[in-house]
């Protein structure tokens, strides 16, 4: 009996040892699973990207409408011009400047150079005196801007020169203003013609003086008037600025230059 029990115990012990060896042969070492099999291409698997800790900032497109403060300022300027009504003609400026109010800034005196040209047929020194009379027409304007003649033509605000005729037949004066997008005038060129066209007689001295005064009004920033009683009427019918010319100039120089366009979303 004892021998039988001993045999059974030995048989059970052998069975346990066999089963334990089989289990060890099935479970491979974890590192062994990463080894490639001979003849199989190795494909590198990239590690997962790190998680960014940088906060995401949304990009906001700039607004296309006029900023609120600028909008209020532009509307206030428009209301001021409208309130003046027929006492001024400043609104006739905007079709030519794309709704930009233009004027000189931080200036109380504008330098003027009268540039003679003795090679022009019909030239006479009296032309200089006629232009000076045109300057004096604006001497007592209410805007506080004066003209000062200077011989230095290289660094002046307003250049005045004469031509026999202008390209646009019939005109005897033209003014070209240089101004920036902020509405600030940087320079002016005035051209005065001796004749309306090559076949016409010379422009009379009194008319030339009126035309010079009219063009100096443009040099200050004034547009054309629609009233025949104003110096800034297209044909310069009067020799001196009217009360309406003066009121328009005063209004121009109390307003801020710049665009009066209003853009809303």
Detail the DSSP E strand segments found in the chain.
100-101, 109-115, 146-149, 158-163, 173-179, 185-193, 258-259
Q: What is the pLDDT of residue 64?
A: 52
Q: 98, 258 in Cβ contact below 8 A?
A: no
**From the CB of residue 73, how many other CB atoms can be counted at a distance below 10 Å?**
16
| The token pair that represents 83 in the structure block | 């309130």
Q: Is the pLDDT of residue 118 over 50?
A: yes
List the single range of 51-65, 181-195, 211-225, 242-256 with lowest mean pLDDT: 51-65
Q: Is the pLDDT of residue 51 over 80?
A: no
3-state secondary structure 28-97: CCHHHHHCCCCCCCCCCCCCCCCCCCCCCCCCCCCCCCCCHHHHHHHHHHHHHHHHHHHHCCHHHHHHHH
For the chain, give the mean pLDDT: 81
Q: Is the pLDDT of residue 131 over 90?
A: yes
Average pLDDT estimate for 220-245: 96
Q: How confident is the model at residue 59 (pLDDT cuts 50, 70, 90)?
A: very low
Q: CA-CA distance, 260 to 100, in Å (whole number)?
A: 6
pTM assigned to the model: 0.73
| The token pair that represents 170 in the structure block | 């019939």
Q: 115, 191 in Cβ contact below 8 A?
A: no
Average pLDDT estimate for 217-222: 98
Of 78 and 188, more confident: 188
Q: CA-CA distance, 129 to 116, in Å (whole number)?
A: 11
- In tens, the pLDDT along 134-166 reads 999 999 898 999 999 999 888 999 999 999 999
Beta bridge partner(s), residue 111 = 148
List the single range of 10-24, 114-128, 161-175, 188-202 with lowest mean pLDDT: 10-24
Q: CA-CA distance, 203 to 207, in Å (whole number)?
A: 7
Q: 105, 257 in Cβ contact below 8 A?
A: yes
């Amino acid at each position: 009996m004892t021998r039988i029990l001993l045999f059974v115990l030995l048989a059970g012990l052998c069975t346990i040892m066999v089963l334990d060896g089989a289990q060890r042969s099935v479970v491979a070492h974890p590192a062994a699973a990463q080894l490639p099999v001979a003849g199989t291409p190795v494909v590198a698997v990239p590690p997962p990207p790190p998680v960014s800790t940088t906060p995401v900032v949304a990009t906001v497109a700039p607004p296309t409408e006029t900023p609120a403060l600028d909008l209020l300022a532009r509307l206030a300027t428009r209301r001021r011009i409208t309130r003046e009504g027929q006492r001024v003609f400043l609104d006739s400026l905007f079709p030519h400047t794309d709704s930009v109010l233009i004027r000189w800034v931080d200036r109380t005196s504008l330098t003027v150079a009268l540039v003679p040209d003795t090679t022009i047929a019909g030239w006479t020194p009296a032309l200089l005196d006629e232009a000076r009379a045109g300057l004096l027409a604006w001497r007592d304007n209410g805007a506080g801007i004066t003209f000062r003649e200077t011989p230095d033509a290289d660094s002046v605000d307003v250049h005045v020169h004469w031509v026999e005729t202008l390209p646009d037949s019939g005109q005897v004066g033209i003014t070209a203003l240089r101004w920036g997008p902020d509405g600030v005038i940087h320079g002016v060129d005035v051209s005065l013609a001796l004749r309306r066209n090559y076949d016409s007689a010379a422009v009379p001295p009194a008319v030339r003086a009126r035309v010079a005064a009219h063009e100096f009004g443009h040099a200050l920033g004034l547009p054309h008037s629609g009233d025949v009683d104003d110096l800034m009427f297209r044909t310069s019918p009067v020799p001196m600025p009217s009360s309406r010319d003066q009121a328009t100039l005063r209004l121009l120089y109390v307003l801020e230059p710049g665009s009066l366009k209003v853009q809303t979303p």
